[in-house]
């Protein structure tokens, strides 16, 4: 599939850094910008 990834985002000012990668378990992603955070994923209801 081309492009291999697509991007859309909503940008807003925040004092807390957040990357959607923190909620994604896909470890071998070439676009990863932050490590998976299981505590954050659980807080957002993604992980049980």
Considering its fold, how many domains does the chain have in total?
Answer: 1
pTM metric for this prediction? 0.62
pLDDT at residue 38, rounded to an integer: 93
pLDDT at residue 1, rounded to an integer: 58
Q: Tens digit of pLDDT for each residue in 1-48?
A: 567 777 777 888 889 888 889 999 888 888 899 999 999 999 988 876
Beta-sheet strands, E only, within the chain: none
Pull the structure tokens for residue 28: 């071998």
pLDDT at residue 42, rounded to an integer: 92
- Domain of residue 16 covers 1-48
36 by Cβ neighbours in 10 Å (0-12 / 13-18 / 19+) ranks as: middle
pLDDT at residue 48, rounded to an integer: 63
20 by Cβ neighbours in 10 Å (0-12 / 13-18 / 19+) ranks as: exposed
């Amino acid at each position: 599939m081309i492009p291999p990834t697509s991007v859309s985002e909503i940008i807003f000012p925040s004092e807390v850094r957040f990357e959607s990668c923190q909620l994604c378990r896909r470890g071998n992603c070439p676009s990863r910008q932050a490590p998976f955070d299981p505590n954050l994923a659980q807080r957002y209801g993604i992980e049980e």
